[in-house]
Amino acid sequence: MAIETLATARPDSTPEAGPITAAWLGRVDYREALALQKRLVADRADGRIGDRLLLLEHPRVLTLGRTSDPKHILADEATLAARGIEVIRVERGGEVTYHGPGQLVAYPIIALSPRGLLVRPLVRALEAALIATCAAHGVTAARRDGHPGCWCEPDGADPRKIGALGLRIERGVSYHGIALNVSVDLADFELIDPCGMPGVRSTSIAAERGERGTRPTTESVQRVAATFATAFAAELGAPLAEA
């Protein structure tokens, strides 16, 4: 579904809790996706639409949260420019995050109050959906205490981050969200301290399955997106609809 179609869709007839409407958007520029989120947050807060789950991937970009320390970007501007990687500061929590082809990004536009949610339970639901999605695609993952997101062998000698998480709440509605590495080029993560944690190694579903030669593809991300949408809606006990 095209972004403008989603942004200007007819208001839902029952915009309270209701179903979560998931939309696969394909590859979308980061700033364009952020502008869409903000429009949908306003529409959700004003009761014009129901809850949304945007599913997509981005071109290469680094994002810094409100209090992120730029020192966790390890590459200089010339290196980033040579790889076509832009740096953007945004309003979410968390540290530096990489987005790129082969990575699922999911943005939940969820009104917390109608679902009886607080921020922490929403975070836990997103983490649980990440873990369930990994499991459905043959990868064992789990939470890591004190570190939001999703990890492989979080308590082992070699913990590897496979999913990142950062949210913002405005007018009682969530936006930003999660990033799950599906078939992403892991070499790009060497340009940063993922989530501001020096020495942390990133991984992907493809890498954990021993498919290290896999090229990033939008098709692989779309398959995983469907799994995540189902898992997330189940965690919130909500029906899932498609835009």
The H-assigned helical ranges of 68-108 are: 77-82
- Give domain limits for the chain: 3-237
- Which of 134, 150, 152, 195 is the catalytic position? 195
Burial class (CB in 10 A: 0-12, 13-18, 19+), 127: buried
Q: Can you spell out the DSSP letters for 183-233?
A: S--GGGGGGB-GGG-TTPEE--HHHHTT-TTPPP-HHHHHHHHHHHHHHHH
Cα–Cα distance, 35 to 37 (Å, whole number):
5
Bridge partners of 100, per DSSP, are none
Looking at the predicted structure, is the pLDDT value of residue 100 above 50? yes
Phi first, then psi, for residue 8 (nearest 5°) are -110, 20
pTM score: 0.90
User: Would the pLDDT of 137 be above 70?
Assistant: yes
Average pLDDT value for the chain: 89
Nearest to 20 by CA among 219, 177, 135: 177
Give catalytic status of residue 195 as yes or no: yes
Please state the φ and ψ torsions of residue 212, each to the nearest 5 degrees. -70, -20
- CA 35/CA 28 separation, integer angstroms: 11
Fold exhibited by the domain 3-237: BirA Bifunctional Protein; domain 2 (3.30.930)
CB 33 within 8 A of CB 107: yes
First to last CA, the chain: 7
Token readout for 229 is 């949408």
**From the CB of residue 124, how many other CB atoms can be counted at a distance below 10 Å?**
13
Q: What digits encode the pLDDT tens for the residues 148-201?
A: 899 999 888 889 999 999 899 999 999 999 999 999 999 999 998 876 677 789
The backbone torsions φ and ψ at residue 43, rounded to the nearest 5 degrees and listed phi first, read -65, -40
Please list, in sequence order, all residues whose beta carbon lies within 8 angstroms of the beta carbon of residue 73, skipping any fewer than 6 positions away.
62, 64, 80, 87, 96, 191, 192
Which pLDDT tens digit goes with each residue over 43-72? 999 999 999 999 999 999 998 887 777 888
